[in-house]
Amino acid sequence: MDFRIINDETLPKIMELWDYCFEKNDTPFFKWYFDEYCLNENMILGGFDEADGSLMNMLHLNPYTINLRGQELQVPYIVGVATAPEYRGRHLFGPLLDTAFAVLRAQKQAFVLLMPISAGIYRPYQFDYCYYRHRYEMPLAVLPKAGSASADITLQRAGLEQEAEAFAKVYAAVTAAYHGAVKRDDKNWRNLLSVHQGEQVKAVLAKRGGQVLGYMLYSIADRTFTVQELLAEETAARDALLRFARGHVTEAEKFSWLAEAWDKMYLHLQDQNYAGSLQPFMMARCINVRQALVQLTNIAADIQGAVSLLITDKTLPLNNGLLKLEVNAGQIDVKSTVDMQDIEMDVAAFTQLYFGQFSVQELAAENRLKIHNEEAALLLDRLFPKCHNYINEYF
Protein backbone atom coordinates (compact mmCIF):
# COMPACT_ATOMS: atom_id res chain seq x y z
CA MET A 1 0.00 0.00 0.00
CA ASP A 2 1.22 3.47 -0.93
CA PHE A 3 0.51 6.00 1.81
CA ARG A 4 0.10 9.65 0.84
CA ILE A 5 -0.85 12.94 2.39
CA ILE A 6 -3.84 14.03 0.33
CA ASN A 7 -3.61 17.09 -1.92
CA ASP A 8 -5.95 18.81 -4.36
CA GLU A 9 -5.19 16.19 -7.01
CA THR A 10 -6.21 13.20 -4.86
CA LEU A 11 -9.00 14.91 -2.89
CA PRO A 12 -11.76 13.85 -5.37
CA LYS A 13 -11.08 10.20 -4.49
CA ILE A 14 -11.47 11.04 -0.81
CA MET A 15 -14.75 12.80 -1.57
CA GLU A 16 -16.05 9.80 -3.45
CA LEU A 17 -15.26 7.42 -0.56
CA TRP A 18 -16.81 9.84 1.97
CA ASP A 19 -19.97 9.98 -0.14
CA TYR A 20 -20.09 6.18 -0.18
CA CYS A 21 -19.52 5.72 3.57
CA PHE A 22 -20.85 8.84 5.28
CA GLU A 23 -22.79 11.97 4.24
CA LYS A 24 -23.84 12.15 0.60
CA ASN A 25 -22.34 14.77 -1.69
CA ASP A 26 -25.53 16.83 -1.85
CA THR A 27 -25.84 17.29 1.93
CA PRO A 28 -24.93 20.59 3.65
CA PHE A 29 -22.19 19.04 5.76
CA PHE A 30 -20.48 17.38 2.79
CA LYS A 31 -20.48 20.64 0.83
CA TRP A 32 -19.13 22.66 3.75
CA TYR A 33 -16.53 20.07 4.73
CA PHE A 34 -15.00 19.64 1.29
CA ASP A 35 -15.51 23.19 0.01
CA GLU A 36 -14.25 25.08 3.03
CA TYR A 37 -12.50 22.83 5.56
CA CYS A 38 -10.58 19.97 3.97
CA LEU A 39 -6.91 20.65 3.23
CA ASN A 40 -7.35 24.24 4.43
CA GLU A 41 -7.48 23.32 8.10
CA ASN A 42 -6.86 19.58 8.36
CA MET A 43 -4.65 16.81 7.02
CA ILE A 44 -5.89 13.64 5.32
CA LEU A 45 -3.96 10.40 4.89
CA GLY A 46 -4.85 7.89 2.22
CA GLY A 47 -3.67 4.38 1.43
CA PHE A 48 -3.48 3.70 -2.31
CA ASP A 49 -3.25 0.49 -4.30
CA GLU A 50 0.25 0.39 -5.77
CA ALA A 51 -1.02 -1.54 -8.79
CA ASP A 52 -3.59 0.92 -10.13
CA GLY A 53 -3.61 3.93 -7.80
CA SER A 54 -7.07 3.24 -6.39
CA LEU A 55 -7.85 4.70 -2.97
CA MET A 56 -8.00 1.81 -0.49
CA ASN A 57 -8.63 3.61 2.80
CA MET A 58 -8.40 7.00 4.50
CA LEU A 59 -8.40 8.87 7.78
CA HIS A 60 -8.74 12.59 8.48
CA LEU A 61 -6.81 14.45 11.16
CA ASN A 62 -8.74 17.50 12.33
CA PRO A 63 -6.86 19.80 14.74
CA TYR A 64 -8.27 20.95 18.06
CA THR A 65 -6.75 22.68 21.06
CA ILE A 66 -7.83 21.14 24.36
CA ASN A 67 -7.12 21.95 27.98
CA LEU A 68 -5.20 18.97 29.32
CA ARG A 69 -3.56 19.01 32.74
CA GLY A 70 -3.43 22.79 32.73
CA GLN A 71 -1.87 23.01 29.29
CA GLU A 72 -3.45 24.08 26.03
CA LEU A 73 -2.38 21.30 23.70
CA GLN A 74 -3.14 20.73 20.04
CA VAL A 75 -4.61 17.25 19.73
CA PRO A 76 -5.60 15.76 16.36
CA TYR A 77 -9.12 14.36 16.18
CA ILE A 78 -9.30 11.30 13.91
CA VAL A 79 -12.47 11.27 11.79
CA GLY A 80 -13.59 9.83 8.47
CA VAL A 81 -11.90 6.45 8.94
CA ALA A 82 -13.08 4.32 6.04
CA THR A 83 -11.99 1.51 3.73
CA ALA A 84 -13.29 1.17 0.18
CA PRO A 85 -15.69 -1.81 0.06
CA GLU A 86 -13.61 -3.78 -2.45
CA TYR A 87 -10.61 -3.70 -0.07
CA ARG A 88 -12.36 -4.62 3.16
CA GLY A 89 -11.37 -7.73 5.08
CA ARG A 90 -7.64 -7.27 4.41
CA HIS A 91 -6.79 -5.64 7.77
CA LEU A 92 -5.60 -2.45 6.10
CA PHE A 93 -6.48 -0.07 8.93
CA GLY A 94 -3.48 -1.01 11.07
CA PRO A 95 -0.83 0.07 8.54
CA LEU A 96 -2.69 3.32 7.85
CA LEU A 97 -2.88 4.05 11.57
CA ASP A 98 0.82 3.26 11.99
CA THR A 99 1.59 5.82 9.28
CA ALA A 100 -0.61 8.44 10.95
CA PHE A 101 1.11 7.84 14.29
CA ALA A 102 4.55 8.20 12.69
CA VAL A 103 3.58 11.52 11.09
CA LEU A 104 2.07 12.85 14.31
CA ARG A 105 5.01 11.79 16.47
CA ALA A 106 7.29 13.66 14.07
CA GLN A 107 5.11 16.72 14.71
CA LYS A 108 5.65 16.30 18.49
CA GLN A 109 2.04 15.32 19.12
CA ALA A 110 1.44 13.29 22.28
CA PHE A 111 -2.22 12.26 21.96
CA VAL A 112 -5.00 11.67 19.45
CA LEU A 113 -8.79 11.73 19.90
CA LEU A 114 -11.37 9.54 18.20
CA MET A 115 -15.14 9.05 18.42
CA PRO A 116 -15.76 5.39 17.54
CA ILE A 117 -18.66 3.86 15.69
CA SER A 118 -17.66 0.69 17.51
CA ALA A 119 -15.09 0.58 20.31
CA GLY A 120 -14.11 -2.93 19.24
CA ILE A 121 -12.50 -1.55 16.09
CA TYR A 122 -10.10 0.64 18.02
CA ARG A 123 -9.45 -1.16 21.29
CA PRO A 124 -6.96 -3.57 19.64
CA TYR A 125 -4.92 -0.45 18.87
CA GLN A 126 -5.15 0.59 22.54
CA PHE A 127 -7.55 3.49 22.23
CA ASP A 128 -9.82 3.76 25.26
CA TYR A 129 -12.60 5.93 26.59
CA CYS A 130 -11.58 9.17 28.28
CA TYR A 131 -14.92 10.98 27.97
CA TYR A 132 -18.38 9.88 29.07
CA ARG A 133 -21.80 11.56 28.80
CA HIS A 134 -25.18 11.12 30.45
CA ARG A 135 -27.71 10.11 27.79
CA TYR A 136 -31.36 11.06 28.16
CA GLU A 137 -33.90 9.46 25.80
CA MET A 138 -37.54 9.97 26.78
CA PRO A 139 -40.93 11.22 25.65
CA LEU A 140 -40.70 14.99 25.44
CA ALA A 141 -43.71 15.37 27.73
CA VAL A 142 -41.79 13.61 30.54
CA LEU A 143 -39.42 16.57 30.95
CA PRO A 144 -40.15 18.39 34.23
CA LYS A 145 -42.62 21.25 34.07
CA ALA A 146 -40.85 22.87 36.98
CA GLY A 147 -37.40 22.74 38.47
CA SER A 148 -34.97 25.26 39.85
CA ALA A 149 -35.65 27.83 37.14
CA SER A 150 -36.07 31.36 38.47
CA ALA A 151 -38.92 33.64 37.50
CA ASP A 152 -36.43 36.32 36.45
CA ILE A 153 -34.87 34.13 33.75
CA THR A 154 -36.18 34.88 30.29
CA LEU A 155 -35.76 32.97 27.06
CA GLN A 156 -34.89 34.38 23.67
CA ARG A 157 -34.70 32.53 20.41
CA ALA A 158 -31.50 33.48 18.64
CA GLY A 159 -29.85 33.46 15.25
CA LEU A 160 -26.73 31.32 15.15
CA GLU A 161 -24.38 33.84 13.61
CA GLN A 162 -25.85 36.87 15.37
CA GLU A 163 -25.31 35.39 18.84
CA ALA A 164 -21.93 33.74 18.29
CA GLU A 165 -20.30 36.01 20.87
CA ALA A 166 -22.90 35.12 23.50
CA PHE A 167 -22.44 31.40 22.87
CA ALA A 168 -18.68 31.77 23.12
CA LYS A 169 -18.82 33.62 26.45
CA VAL A 170 -21.06 31.02 28.08
CA TYR A 171 -19.02 28.15 26.64
CA ALA A 172 -15.76 29.64 27.94
CA ALA A 173 -17.24 30.31 31.38
CA VAL A 174 -18.75 26.84 31.80
CA THR A 175 -15.90 24.78 30.34
CA ALA A 176 -13.29 26.67 32.38
CA ALA A 177 -14.23 24.30 35.22
CA TYR A 178 -14.00 21.22 33.00
CA HIS A 179 -11.03 19.17 31.83
CA GLY A 180 -10.19 18.04 28.31
CA ALA A 181 -12.53 20.61 26.80
CA VAL A 182 -11.83 22.14 23.42
CA LYS A 183 -10.74 25.76 23.42
CA ARG A 184 -13.01 27.21 20.75
CA ASP A 185 -11.54 30.25 19.03
CA ASP A 186 -13.36 32.37 16.44
CA LYS A 187 -12.49 29.89 13.70
CA ASN A 188 -13.89 26.95 15.68
CA TRP A 189 -17.12 28.83 16.29
CA ARG A 190 -17.43 29.83 12.64
CA ASN A 191 -16.98 26.21 11.58
CA LEU A 192 -19.43 24.87 14.14
CA LEU A 193 -22.13 27.44 13.45
CA SER A 194 -21.72 27.13 9.67
CA VAL A 195 -22.40 23.40 9.92
CA HIS A 196 -25.34 23.95 12.28
CA GLN A 197 -26.76 26.61 9.96
CA GLY A 198 -26.71 24.19 7.05
CA GLU A 199 -28.33 21.46 9.13
CA GLN A 200 -31.18 23.68 10.34
CA VAL A 201 -30.05 23.77 13.97
CA LYS A 202 -31.81 26.40 16.07
CA ALA A 203 -30.76 28.28 19.19
CA VAL A 204 -32.28 29.75 22.34
CA LEU A 205 -30.68 31.86 25.07
CA ALA A 206 -31.46 31.93 28.79
CA LYS A 207 -31.01 35.45 30.17
CA ARG A 208 -31.30 37.38 33.40
CA GLY A 209 -31.67 41.01 32.51
CA GLY A 210 -29.05 41.61 29.86
CA GLN A 211 -26.78 38.75 30.95
CA VAL A 212 -26.79 35.50 28.99
CA LEU A 213 -26.58 32.59 31.45
CA GLY A 214 -26.96 29.69 29.08
CA TYR A 215 -27.82 28.53 25.59
CA MET A 216 -29.24 25.51 23.83
CA LEU A 217 -28.54 24.47 20.25
CA TYR A 218 -31.25 22.09 19.11
CA SER A 219 -32.94 20.50 16.12
CA ILE A 220 -36.36 19.00 15.50
CA ALA A 221 -36.62 16.15 13.01
CA ASP A 222 -38.63 12.93 12.79
CA ARG A 223 -40.73 14.07 15.76
CA THR A 224 -37.61 14.17 17.97
CA PHE A 225 -36.30 17.23 19.82
CA THR A 226 -32.52 16.74 19.89
CA VAL A 227 -30.23 18.89 22.00
CA GLN A 228 -26.98 19.44 20.12
CA GLU A 229 -25.41 21.42 22.95
CA LEU A 230 -26.75 22.83 26.20
CA LEU A 231 -24.47 24.77 28.52
CA ALA A 232 -25.57 26.94 31.41
CA GLU A 233 -23.79 28.82 34.17
CA GLU A 234 -26.65 28.13 36.60
CA THR A 235 -28.89 25.13 37.15
CA ALA A 236 -31.86 27.50 36.97
CA ALA A 237 -30.85 28.51 33.44
CA ARG A 238 -30.50 24.85 32.44
CA ASP A 239 -33.98 24.11 33.76
CA ALA A 240 -35.45 27.08 31.90
CA LEU A 241 -33.94 25.79 28.67
CA LEU A 242 -35.34 22.30 29.31
CA ARG A 243 -38.79 23.78 29.95
CA PHE A 244 -38.46 25.54 26.61
CA ALA A 245 -37.78 22.14 25.03
CA ARG A 246 -40.81 20.64 26.74
CA GLY A 247 -42.95 23.35 25.23
CA HIS A 248 -42.49 21.71 21.82
CA VAL A 249 -44.82 18.77 22.51
CA THR A 250 -46.90 19.73 19.47
CA GLU A 251 -43.83 19.59 17.19
CA ALA A 252 -42.07 16.56 18.69
CA GLU A 253 -42.79 13.44 20.70
CA LYS A 254 -39.30 12.38 21.80
CA PHE A 255 -36.43 14.11 23.58
CA SER A 256 -32.73 13.27 23.17
CA TRP A 257 -29.80 14.86 24.99
CA LEU A 258 -26.20 13.90 25.73
CA ALA A 259 -25.58 15.91 28.89
CA GLU A 260 -22.43 16.24 30.94
CA ALA A 261 -21.60 12.97 32.67
CA TRP A 262 -22.36 14.50 36.07
CA ASP A 263 -25.69 16.12 35.13
CA LYS A 264 -28.45 15.66 37.73
CA MET A 265 -31.58 16.56 35.77
CA TYR A 266 -32.85 13.04 36.47
CA LEU A 267 -33.47 14.05 40.09
CA HIS A 268 -36.50 15.99 38.88
CA LEU A 269 -38.06 13.15 36.86
CA GLN A 270 -41.09 11.28 38.19
CA ASP A 271 -40.43 8.08 36.22
CA GLN A 272 -37.18 6.25 36.97
CA ASN A 273 -37.29 4.56 33.56
CA TYR A 274 -36.18 7.83 31.98
CA ALA A 275 -33.33 8.66 34.36
CA GLY A 276 -30.84 7.97 31.60
CA SER A 277 -27.46 6.32 31.81
CA LEU A 278 -23.75 6.91 31.52
CA GLN A 279 -22.55 6.45 27.96
CA PRO A 280 -19.00 6.20 26.60
CA PHE A 281 -18.43 9.12 24.26
CA MET A 282 -14.90 9.74 23.01
CA MET A 283 -11.69 7.73 23.05
CA ALA A 284 -8.11 8.94 23.24
CA ARG A 285 -4.67 7.41 22.84
CA CYS A 286 -1.19 8.46 23.85
CA ILE A 287 1.19 8.16 20.91
CA ASN A 288 4.27 9.53 22.68
CA VAL A 289 4.53 8.73 26.39
CA ARG A 290 7.76 10.63 27.00
CA GLN A 291 6.40 13.73 25.26
CA ALA A 292 3.23 13.54 27.35
CA LEU A 293 5.20 13.31 30.59
CA VAL A 294 7.70 16.03 29.71
CA GLN A 295 4.93 18.50 28.90
CA LEU A 296 3.31 17.90 32.31
CA THR A 297 3.93 21.24 34.01
CA ASN A 298 0.87 21.88 36.18
CA ILE A 299 2.38 20.17 39.23
CA ALA A 300 1.81 21.34 42.80
CA ALA A 301 5.02 22.55 44.42
CA ASP A 302 4.57 20.26 47.43
CA ILE A 303 4.54 17.05 45.35
CA GLN A 304 7.90 15.34 45.74
CA GLY A 305 9.21 11.85 45.14
CA ALA A 306 10.02 9.31 42.46
CA VAL A 307 8.17 6.51 40.73
CA SER A 308 9.36 3.88 38.25
CA LEU A 309 6.71 3.39 35.59
CA LEU A 310 6.61 0.45 33.16
CA ILE A 311 4.57 1.20 30.01
CA THR A 312 3.71 -1.41 27.39
CA ASP A 313 2.46 -0.59 23.90
CA LYS A 314 1.58 -3.29 21.37
CA THR A 315 1.33 -0.90 18.43
CA LEU A 316 4.06 1.68 19.06
CA PRO A 317 7.21 -0.06 20.35
CA LEU A 318 8.83 3.34 20.90
CA ASN A 319 6.46 3.80 23.83
CA ASN A 320 7.61 0.60 25.54
CA GLY A 321 9.94 1.23 28.42
CA LEU A 322 10.69 1.59 32.10
CA LEU A 323 10.73 5.25 33.02
CA LYS A 324 11.70 6.94 36.25
CA LEU A 325 9.73 10.07 37.09
CA GLU A 326 11.40 12.34 39.62
CA VAL A 327 9.19 15.16 40.87
CA ASN A 328 10.44 18.14 42.86
CA ALA A 329 9.38 21.79 43.27
CA GLY A 330 6.76 21.64 40.53
CA GLN A 331 9.13 20.08 38.01
CA ILE A 332 9.26 16.57 36.56
CA ASP A 333 12.35 14.79 35.23
CA VAL A 334 11.78 11.77 32.98
CA LYS A 335 14.52 9.27 32.20
CA SER A 336 15.02 5.61 31.45
CA THR A 337 15.88 3.38 34.39
CA VAL A 338 16.78 -0.17 35.32
CA ASP A 339 15.07 0.08 38.72
CA MET A 340 12.30 -2.35 39.58
CA GLN A 341 8.95 -1.02 38.42
CA ASP A 342 6.69 0.56 41.04
CA ILE A 343 3.69 0.72 38.69
CA GLU A 344 3.00 -1.05 35.40
CA MET A 345 0.26 -0.45 32.87
CA ASP A 346 -0.39 -0.48 29.16
CA VAL A 347 -0.64 2.70 27.09
CA ALA A 348 -4.46 2.65 27.14
CA ALA A 349 -4.55 2.80 30.93
CA PHE A 350 -1.83 5.47 30.90
CA THR A 351 -4.00 7.57 28.56
CA GLN A 352 -7.03 7.26 30.84
CA LEU A 353 -4.91 8.17 33.86
CA TYR A 354 -3.36 11.19 32.12
CA PHE A 355 -6.78 12.43 30.97
CA GLY A 356 -8.07 12.06 34.53
CA GLN A 357 -10.95 9.79 33.64
CA PHE A 358 -9.97 7.20 36.26
CA SER A 359 -7.71 7.25 39.29
CA VAL A 360 -4.75 4.97 39.95
CA GLN A 361 -6.81 2.95 42.45
CA GLU A 362 -9.78 2.62 40.09
CA LEU A 363 -7.57 1.35 37.28
CA ALA A 364 -5.84 -1.05 39.67
CA ALA A 365 -9.19 -2.39 40.90
CA GLU A 366 -10.09 -3.25 37.29
CA ASN A 367 -6.70 -4.90 36.67
CA ARG A 368 -5.82 -2.17 34.18
CA LEU A 369 -2.80 -1.22 36.26
CA LYS A 370 -0.53 -3.09 38.69
CA ILE A 371 0.80 -1.51 41.87
CA HIS A 372 4.05 -2.85 43.31
CA ASN A 373 4.74 0.12 45.55
CA GLU A 374 1.87 1.79 47.43
CA GLU A 375 3.85 4.94 48.20
CA ALA A 376 4.61 5.35 44.49
CA ALA A 377 0.91 4.84 43.72
CA LEU A 378 0.01 7.71 46.04
CA LEU A 379 2.53 9.93 44.28
CA LEU A 380 1.12 9.01 40.88
CA ASP A 381 -2.40 9.72 42.11
CA ARG A 382 -1.33 13.22 43.12
CA LEU A 383 0.34 13.78 39.76
CA PHE A 384 -2.80 12.66 37.89
CA PRO A 385 -5.89 13.48 39.97
CA LYS A 386 -9.33 12.63 38.56
CA CYS A 387 -11.03 15.31 36.48
CA HIS A 388 -14.44 16.27 35.08
CA ASN A 389 -13.90 15.59 31.37
CA TYR A 390 -16.15 17.19 28.77
CA ILE A 391 -16.02 17.47 24.98
CA ASN A 392 -18.72 18.03 22.38
CA GLU A 393 -17.07 18.05 18.95
CA TYR A 394 -18.35 15.82 16.16
CA PHE A 395 -16.09 16.58 13.17
What's 67's domain CATH number?
Answer: 3.40.630.30
Q: Are residues 11 and 79 in the same domain?
A: yes
Name the band, by pLDDT with cuts 50, 70 and 90, for residue 255.
very high
Within a domain: 28: yes
What's the rounded mean pLDDT across residues 289-297?
95
Q: What is the spatial distance between Cα 171 and Cα 162, in angstroms, rounded to a whole number?
A: 16
The tens digit of pLDDT for each residue in 197-253 reads: 999 999 999 999 999 999 999 999 999 999 999 999 999 999 999 999 999 999 999
Name the maximum alpha-carbon separation found in the chain: 69
User: Looking at 279, 296, 313, which one is the last position of a domain?
Assistant: 279
Mean pLDDT taken over the chain? 96
Position 150 scores a pLDDT of: 74
Q: What is the spatial distance between Cα 320 and Cα 311, in angstroms, rounded to a whole number?
A: 5
Q: What global pTM score does this model have?
A: 0.95
Asked if the model's pLDDT at residue 147 lies above 80, the reply is: no
The tens digit of pLDDT for each residue in 13-51 reads: 999 999 999 999 999 999 999 999 999 999 999 999 999
**pLDDT above 70 coverage of the chain, percent:** 99
CB neighbour list of residue 291: distance below 8 Å, 6 or more residues apart: 105, 108, 109, 110
Q: Are residues 200 and 298 in the same domain?
A: no
Within a domain: 388: no
User: Looking at 227, 260, 279, which one is the last position of a domain?
Assistant: 279
Position 151 scores a pLDDT of: 80
CB neighbour list of residue 153: distance below 8 Å, 6 or more residues apart: 206, 207, 208, 213, 236, 237, 240
What's the rounded mean pLDDT across residues 110-131?
97
Within a domain: 332: yes
Within a domain: 124: no
Asked if the model's pLDDT at residue 345 lies above 80, the reply is: yes
Q: Which domain range does residue 140 map to?
A: 134-279
Position 148 scores a pLDDT of: 61
Position 269 scores a pLDDT of: 94
Q: Are residues 231 and 255 in the same domain?
A: yes
Q: Which neighbouring-strand residues pair with 179?
A: 389
Q: Are residues 266 and 297 in the same domain?
A: no
Position 278 scores a pLDDT of: 97
Q: Are residues 265 and 187 in the same domain?
A: yes
User: Looking at 244, 260, 279, which one is the last position of a domain?
Assistant: 279
In SS3 terms, the chain reads as CEEEECCCCCHHHHHHHHHHHCCCCCCHHHHHHHHHHCCCCCEEEEEECCCCCCEEEEEEEEEEEEEECCEEEEEEEEEEEEECHHHCCCCCHHHHHHHHHHHHHHCCCCEEEECCCCHHHHHHHCCEEEEEEEEEEEEHHHCCCCCCCCCCEEEEEECCCCCHHHHHHHHHHHHCCCECCECCCHHHHHHHHHHHHHCCCEEEEEEECCEEEEEEEEEEECCEEEEEEEEECCHHHHHHHHHHHHCCCCCCCEEEEEEECCCCHHHHCCCHHHCCEEEEEEEEEECCHHHHHHCCCCCCCCCCEEEEEEEECCCCHHHCEEEEEEEECCEEEEEECCCCCCEEEEHHHHHHHHHCCCCHHHHHHCCCEEECCHHHHHHHHHHCCCCCECCCCCC
Name the band, by pLDDT with cuts 50, 70 and 90, for residue 275.
very high
The total number of structural domains that make up the chain: 3
Q: Are residues 55 and 82 in the same domain?
A: yes
Asked if the model's pLDDT at residue 146 lies above 70, the reply is: no
Asked if the model's pLDDT at residue 344 lies above 70, the reply is: yes
The tens digit of pLDDT for each residue in 350-374 reads: 999 999 999 999 999 999 999 999 9
Within a domain: 232: yes
Q: Are residues 264 and 139 in the same domain?
A: yes
Q: Are residues 275 and 294 in the same domain?
A: no
Q: Are residues 36 and 103 in the same domain?
A: yes
Position 122 scores a pLDDT of: 97
What's the rounded mean pLDDT across residues 78-104?
97
Name the band, by pLDDT with cuts 50, 70 and 90, for residue 149.
low
**pLDDT above 90 coverage of the chain, percent:** 97
